[in-house]
Amino acid sequence: MKPTVLILCTGNSCRSHMAEGILRAAAGDLLDVQSAGSKPAGYVHPLAIKALAEIGIDISGHHSKHMDEFLAGEVETVITVCGNADQACPAFPGQMNRHHWGFDDPAHATGTEDEQFAVFRRVRDEIRRVFEAYAAGRRDAK
Q: Which residues are catalytic?
A: 9, 82, 89
Strands 4-9 and 77-80: parallel
Q: Give CA torsion, residues 26, 28, 29, 30, to 10 deg.
A: 90
The Cα–Cα gap between 10 and 32 comes to 21
- Look at residue 9 and give its three-state secondary structure: strand
The Cα–Cα gap between 18 and 92 comes to 22
